[in-house]
């Protein structure tokens, strides 16, 4: 994730004025779980879509169910998180967290089916296509953070371009995380999951400066989408003060 000034992109999209508010997105889709096996009964979701900054940053509440969030945390603790540390320099932002990377077409497809109704069909001359098959699961403990950076657009070997980052919070701030929690036998610290303080995703109006465009507090099951490349505001994952923060990451691709 390079730190740089962002130039205007040739590809842009425009969301109709009527959508620049909170809307309800209905979707029927397969479960979004780390280890899908065979046929699973579809789930029906009512997600509230809310734009936070212009047309490039929005949230989807109820994107994951409590049981899906718990399944991802259990999976991460059972598999074990790889420590990842990057010291800040001219090219890279500070980053300190645990991570697991999964290459999965089936999980990417489950992501895409759930996101599809909320996404613009076009991005310039490109057509909405899929989600990145590289699924990332992150864990941030006390003192860990992801410094200021921008998310660059990438073009894969099939010519598809990443346009949105998708972050999904698996636990949240000062809320009831106990209705469906991971089993402590899987290594999850239930107290830490339920006492998260800090870890907000903060977006800044300028590459250098302190004026905040918007800030998103972790909320269990909520997805946060924001634009890549020239559409991406400088942002950071603020330091976790107490507890632990779990989240999923993928990207939306246009062909």
At the second CATH level, the architecture of 22-30+42-247 is Sandwich (2.60)
Domain residue limits, the chain: 22-30+42-247
How much is the pTM? 0.86
Q: What is the DSSP track for the chain?
A: -B--PPPPPS------GGGSS-EEEEEEE----SS--S----EEEEEEEEEEETTTEEEETTSS-HHHHHHHHHHHHHH-PEEEEE---SSB--EEEEEEEEE-HHHHHHHHHHHGGGS-SEETTEEEEEE-SEEEEEEE-TT--EEEE-----B-TTS-EEEEEEEEESS-BSS---SS---GGGT--HHHHTTBEE--EEEESSSSS--EEEEE---TT-EEEEE-GGGPPPEEEPPEEES-EEEEEEEEEE-
pLDDT in tens, the chain (255 residues): 544 443 333 443 334 343 446 788 999 999 999 988 777 789 999 999 999 999 899 999 999 999 999 999 999 999 999 999 788 777 788 999 999 999 999 999 999 999 999 999 999 999 999 999 999 999 999 999 998 999 999 999 999 999 999 999 999 986 655 556 666 556 677 788 888 999 999 999 988 888 999 999 999 999 999 999 889 999 999 999 999 999 999 999 999
């Amino acid at each position: 994730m390079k730190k740089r000034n962002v130039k205007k992109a040739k590809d842009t999209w425009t969301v109709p004025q009527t959508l620049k508010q909170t809307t309800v997105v209905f979707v029927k889709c397969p479960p979004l779980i780390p280890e899908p096996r065979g046929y699973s009964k579809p789930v029906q979701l009512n997600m509230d879509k809310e734009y936070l900054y212009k047309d490039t940053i929005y949230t989807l509440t109820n994107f994951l169910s409590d049981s899906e969030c718990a399944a991802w945390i259990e999976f991460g603790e059972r598999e074990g998180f790889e420590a990842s540390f990057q010291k800040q320099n001219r090219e890279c932002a500070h980053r300190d967290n645990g991570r697991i990377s999964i290459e999965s077409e089936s999980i990417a497809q489950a992501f895409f089916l759930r996101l599809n109704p909320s996404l613009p069909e076009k991005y310039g001359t490109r057509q909405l296509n899929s989600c990145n098959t590289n699924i990332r699961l992150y864990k941030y403990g006390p003192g860990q953070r992801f410094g200021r950076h921008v998310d660059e657009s990438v073009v894969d070997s099939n010519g598809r371009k990443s346009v949105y980052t998708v972050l999904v919070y698996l636990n949240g701030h000062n809320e009831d995380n106990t209705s469906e929690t991971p089993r402590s036998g899987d290594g999850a610290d239930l107290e830490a999951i339920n006492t998260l303080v800090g870890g907000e995703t903060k977006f800044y109006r300028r590459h250098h400066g302190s004026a905040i465009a918007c800030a998103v507090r972790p909320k269990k099951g909520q997805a946060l989408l924001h634009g890549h490349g020239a559409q991406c505001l400088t942002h950071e994952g603020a330091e976790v003060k107490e507890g632990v923060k779990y989240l999923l990451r993928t990207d939306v691709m246009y062909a």
